[in-house]
Amino acid sequence: MIGCAVAWRLSGTAARVTLIEAAHDLCEGASKGNTGIATSGGDCHPGTLELELVRRSSPGWEALCARLDTPFHRIGTLAVALSEEDEQRLPELLRDAQDTGAAAEVVTGDQARALEPLISEGARAALHFPDDGIIDSIRLTIGYAELAARNGVEVLRGAPVRSLARDGDRIVAVTAGDRRVATRSVVNAAGVEADTISRLAGGEEFRTWPRQGQYWLFDRELGGRFRKVVGGVPTPVTRGIYCVPTTNRSLLLGPTAVDREDRTDRAVDAETLDHVFDAAQRLVPSIGREHAIKTFASNRPASDPTYRIAVDAAVANLVHAAGIRSTGVSSSPAVAEMVRGLLEGLGLPVGDQRPDAVTELEPLPRLLGHPSPEQLFARDPRYGQVICACEQVTTAEIAAAHGMAVPPTSLEGVRKRTRATGGRCQGAFCLSGVSFLHSLHAGRRPQGIAVSEPDATLGVGADDA
Amino acid sequence: MPDRPLVAIVGAGITGLACAHALRDVADVTVVDRIPVPGGVHGWEAAETRELARACRAHMRLGETAIRWDGLALLAIGQDGPQRMEAAALVIATGARPLGRAELGIAGGRPAGIVAATVACHLAENGLLVGRRPLIVGGGDWAMRAAGELRAAGAERATLVCPDGLLRERPVDDGVHVRERDRVVSVAGTPRVRTATLASGETLGCDAVVLAHGVAALRNVDGAVWAGDRAVYAQPLADPATVERARAAGAEAAAAVRSLIDQEERP
């Protein structure tokens, strides 16, 4: 998210930019595993850089998402008080929220149920943040990178950074995968691995670690009925579990927050999932497990301090954008702008937009819910061929994804760009069709196409591919 | 015949065709299916498919995917573009699938190689083997078929883990092993699945986990997924999916459609 946002922000300037990603695709870490809430800041702490950047980002979402072909809806959040104790904390939380500058109001239980009829009869009152939004964080990340690539940013995927070559107090080149990239400056937006990059560069010693969150995803028939993001009353320890109607209309429950050591572990466990489900069901009693379509875990980057956005103390041309914990979606445009400012201060030509810079992506229409399928079919008859029936994804959309400047290189990449296989049957119906299409577009035999990373092939015996 | 009510049926399998057949004297029926051949899981080869397809006298819109229902009209899209069909009732006869990973409650990481039996079989028929040592969750039709197809496509051995026991005759194949009354509780491996842990506590090595247990209705028409206005569901959630069950479900749906229509026609 942050790396792609920075690449996007710099891509319209005179700077030459290379975006380096260790995984096989963009948006493989916290960017694809988060609630997709774009907070307006009411739950952040006054006086922090985090709040400042969230507040700077919040008003611009409608305009930015329109330019990046990313779904966004400012639907608001209800923090619901179910107990007397919760209710008593609301006035204090309201004052805190008002200190942040975000819009907030305390509403009665009845008012809360009028705003979101699905919440529990037991809701006594709620704190309402009307300016919070929901965003498709995957499309946002990919949109940032796509626009960056259209503006000439070179995107290296599957290219873990091996070393950073120094000359005095400056980095002069980055070796990533099998490429050596000469550079005047480096931005460290490596998420959970930000500490590794700093160490490789000989920069400041700090520690980042994974904070694991587990989630449930529910059928879009259920999510489509929600009007608001619904959460509990935050405690000093945690913001708790949210029920988030996503921009895809599915319903997301989560996350948990557990600090871990293993950076690659994304395992879910039954006990934690039970806890998440129970917490969500207390808020919205009509949620039933029979409508669950997926469970997953992701690691967001934790660090101390958070929001380390600064030039390194030892390496003069290394800019950290690290420890952007769980608010990375919400603050990403302002973080990108702040990083641009730091780079300008280092003398990089990133002050002015190039007159020829592309500033928006042409929207790719989707069949699902489209008001005029006739118009789509007239534009491209491949809109008549639905491949993924649950999400109603057509061959036109899959072809368009493969025609992007940063195309998918795996089935997971196809899902992230099109939603194909991401619906209620999780590919039980369409995965073979999607696989053959991806195989055709990617020019690889079906056996050898990747589910995710290149060695995670769909078929075994792919060596003859 | 003019003024007969219009009925749309989604799914040209035995269930949908049997429903169309039962309504042939009382309604103008259109059957929509995304596959360009009638028969569904039983295929065109099944004698009942050909018999019903001939005798039902329905309009066939094959190769079109039904996508939306608003209580008054069905929207389908295919190679001729979107088609809006008014109908007094909609029948959803779109078949079933095995349960997915979340529905089965399989915890653990997200390795590659966890696939639905429907997909594993389809790929195997096309020469693509999803695992040499697959572990197959289920003991019914889908599981048996997956074991057979994967072995035929070159799997060294297949292990059936049957939560409800073995629902079919034990396969006559030394390469197929059976664990009765056990289930997979978690999987592990990077990037491909390497082990599956069973409820009994045992951990088995494998390079694919094929999901072939349980039955869930496939429903993809927006507006008729849970409970749609004037929508009737004809999806026998049974394993095995026999022709008899399909015919019975079709006839039952036709009766429901008739009572819907009768109610509408009453002043």
Kindly report, residue by residue over B242-262, the tens digit of the pLDDT. Answer: 999 999 999 999 999 999 998
Same domain, A384 and A441: yes
User: Cis peptide before B240, with omega less than 30 degrees from 0?
Assistant: yes
Chain B: closest CA distance from residue A205 (Å): 30
Q: What is the pLDDT along chain A (465 residues), one digit of tens a residue?
A: 999 999 999 999 999 999 999 999 999 999 999 999 999 999 999 999 999 999 999 999 999 999 999 999 999 999 999 999 999 999 999 999 999 999 999 999 999 999 999 999 999 999 999 999 999 999 999 999 999 999 999 999 999 999 999 999 999 999 999 999 999 999 999 999 999 999 999 999 999 999 999 999 999 999 999 999 999 998 877 788 999 999 999 999 999 999 999 998 899 999 999 999 999 999 999 999 999 999 999 999 999 899 999 999 999 999 999 999 889 999 999 999 999 999 999 999 999 999 999 999 999 999 999 999 999 999 999 999 999 999 999 999 999 999 999 999 999 999 999 999 999 999 998 999 999 999 999 999 999 999 999 999 999 975 443
B42 CB contacts (<8 Å, ≥6 apart)?
B13, B14, B48, B49, B241, B243, B246
Residue A248 to residues A71, A293, A334, A390, Cα–Cα distance (Å): 8, 13, 25, 12
Domain count, chain A: 2
Among B112, B154, B188, beta carbon nearest to A451? B112
Same domain, A308 and A173: yes
Could you tell me the two tokens for A144? 């940032």
A368 CB contacts (<8 Å, ≥6 apart)?
A391, A392, A393, A419
Name the 3-class secondary structure at A353.
coil
What local confidence, expressed as pLDDT, does residue B39 receive?
95
DSSP A25: S
What local confidence, expressed as pLDDT, does residue B79 receive?
94
Kindly report, residue by residue over B91-120, the tens digit of the pLDDT. Answer: 999 999 999 999 999 999 999 999 999 999
**Ramachandran category for residue B102: left, alpha or beta (phi over 0 → left; psi -120 to 50 → alpha):** alpha
What local confidence, expressed as pLDDT, does residue B266 receive?
67
Instruction: State the architecture of B6-95+218-265 in CATH terms.
Output: 3-Layer(bba) Sandwich (3.50)
Q: Do A294 and B101 touch (CB under 8 A)?
A: yes
Same domain, A158 and A34: yes
What local confidence, expressed as pLDDT, does residue A55 receive?
98
Chain B: closest CA distance from residue A71 (Å): 20
Kindly report, residue by residue over B174-231, the tens digit of the pLDDT. Answer: 999 999 999 999 999 999 999 999 999 999 999 999 999 999 999 999 999 998 899 9
Same domain, A318 and A460: no
- Count the residues in chain A: 465
What local confidence, expressed as pLDDT, does residue A235 receive?
81
b/e map of A200-237 (b: 16 or more CB within 10 Å)?
A: bbebbebebbbbbbbbbbbbbbbbeebebbbbbbbeee
β strands within A90-183, DSSP E: 105-108, 125-129, 133-135, 154-156, 161-167, 170-176, 179-182
Q: Kindly indicate whether the domain formed by B101-211 is annotated with CATH number 3.50.50.60.
A: yes
What local confidence, expressed as pLDDT, does residue A465 receive?
39
What local confidence, expressed as pLDDT, does residue B2 receive?
56
**Ramachandran category for residue B181: left, alpha or beta (phi over 0 → left; psi -120 to 50 → alpha):** left
Among A216, A425, A451, beta carbon nearest to B97? A425
Kindly report, residue by residue over A290-310, the tens digit of the pLDDT. Answer: 999 999 999 999 998 999 999
Could you tell me the two tokens for A245? 């109607």
- Judged by a CB distance cut-off of 8 A, whether residue B126 touches chain A is yes
Chain B residues inside the 8 Å CB shell of A452 = 112, 191
What local confidence, expressed as pLDDT, does residue B81 receive?
97
Q: Give the residue from A319, A351, A383 where a domain finishes.
A: A351
Same domain, A320 and A379: no
Same domain, A37 and A174: yes
Instruction: Tell whether A160 is covered by a domain.
Output: yes
Q: Which of these ranges, B53-57, B67-71, B184-188, B236-240, has the smallest mean pLDDT?
A: B236-240
Chain A: closest CA distance from residue B46 (Å): 22
Q: Do B211 and A428 touch (CB under 8 A)?
A: yes
C-alpha R_g of chain A: 22
Rounded CA-CA distance A48/A44 in Å is 8
- Judged by a CB distance cut-off of 8 A, whether residue B101 touches chain A is yes
Instruction: Tell whether A318 is covered by a domain.
Output: yes
Do residues A31 and A328 make contact, with C-beta atoms less than 8 angstroms apart?
A: yes
Instruction: Tell whether A284 is covered by a domain.
Output: no
Residue ranges per domain, chain B? 6-95+218-265, 101-211
Same domain, A147 and A53: yes
User: Between chain A and chain B, how many beta carbons pairs sit less than 8 Å apart?
Assistant: 144
Q: What percent of chain B has pLDDT over 90?
A: 91
Q: Domain of residue A17: give its range.
A: 1-72+131-207+304-351
Same domain, A347 and A383: no
Kindly report, residue by residue over A366-390, the tens digit of the pLDDT. Answer: 999 999 999 999 999 999 999 999 9
What local confidence, expressed as pLDDT, does residue A100 receive?
97
Same domain, A347 and A415: no
CATH of the domain at A47: 3.50.50.60
Instruction: Tell whether A287 is covered by a domain.
Output: no
Same domain, A397 and A344: no
Per-residue H/E/C for A253-272: EECCCEECCCCCCCCECHHH
Asked if the domains B6-95+218-265 and B101-211 are classified in one and the same CATH topology, the answer is yes
Same domain, A345 and A409: no
Same domain, A312 and A429: no
What local confidence, expressed as pLDDT, does residue A331 receive?
98
Interface test with A, best of B41, B128, B195 (most A CBs within 10 A): B128
Q: What is the dihedral of CA B138, B143, B147, B149, to 10 degrees?
A: -150
Q: How confident is the model at residue B265 (pLDDT cuts 50, 70, 90)?
A: confident
